[in-house]
Amino acid sequence: NLTPKNMNFRRLQKSFRDAWRGVEYVYKYEQNFKIQLFFGILIIILMMALQLRKSEMVVILLLILLVLILELLNSALEKFLDILKPRMHLQAALVKDILAAMVLSASIGSILIGSLIFFPYITTIFLN
């Protein structure tokens, strides 16, 4: 039962601080996250400049979020696997490769879908 009386705002505030600390850590130490965030911001700027339809904007934003969230998940699981690594070296390495493939697949899929959305807008600029 969530009522204002039952909510612990200090705990909620701490949860947000902890989550933000996680984002800061990944941004500071994971090069791929920085690259993905840079291109995500660049795509958002392009999206605004080209004045995409709202439905297209939603798709693009969801794709950007998908890639960033998967990179956060990848980073978290890699850190966890580093704890297990001495006991399970080959399996841990394989799991890390699969996690990287997950992010790569989402990135490639996002590029393909984004290209389909942006292509008509960009061709219109160059053909006019």
Active site residues: 71
Strands (DSSP E) found in the chain: none
Handedness of CA 109, 110, 113, 118 (dihedral sign): negative
Q: Which two tokens stand for residue 50?
A: 């080209």
Query: Which residue carries 């297990």 as its tokens?
Result: 84
> In angstroms, rounded to a whole number, what is the distance separating the alpha carbons of residues 11 and 7?
9
112, 109, 120: which is closest to 52 by C-alpha? 120
